[in-house]
Amino acid sequence: MDHKQIALQVVAEVSGVDVAKLDPQTELVAQLGIDSPKALHLLVELEDRLGIEIDDDDVANLKTVGDVLQAINRFDGAD
């Protein structure tokens, strides 16, 4: 499973929304109800499962599923 698939799975698990209903424009807060505690959980899960550390500047800009994918994109293919 590549980083994109893992990230989508994590977003689905944290939000409780089926992966098939997620697209890059899906808003984390407004559409998925990811509040501050869930956002922290999302970040920790992404970093743990992907073995990466997302930059603080990237974290501040995570507004949509697409933003999440873009933040982890630079790690795709790295294990």
Band of pLDDT at residue 34, cut at 50, 70 and 90:
very high
pLDDT 10s digits, 41-66 = 999 999 999 999 988 888 888 999 99
User: Is residue 49 within 8 Å of residue 6, measured between CB atoms?
Assistant: yes
pLDDT at 76 (0 to 100) = 62
Q: What is the CATH number of domain 3-14+24-73?
A: 1.10.1200.10
DSSP string spanning 25-64? T-BTTTTT---HHHHHHHHHHHHHHHT----HHHHHT--B
For the chain, the domains span 3-14+24-73
User: Is residue 69 within 8 Å of residue 25, measured between CB atoms?
Assistant: no
pLDDT at 79 (0 to 100) = 43
Closest CA to 17 of 43, 60, 29: 29
* Residue 15 identity (one-letter amino acid): S
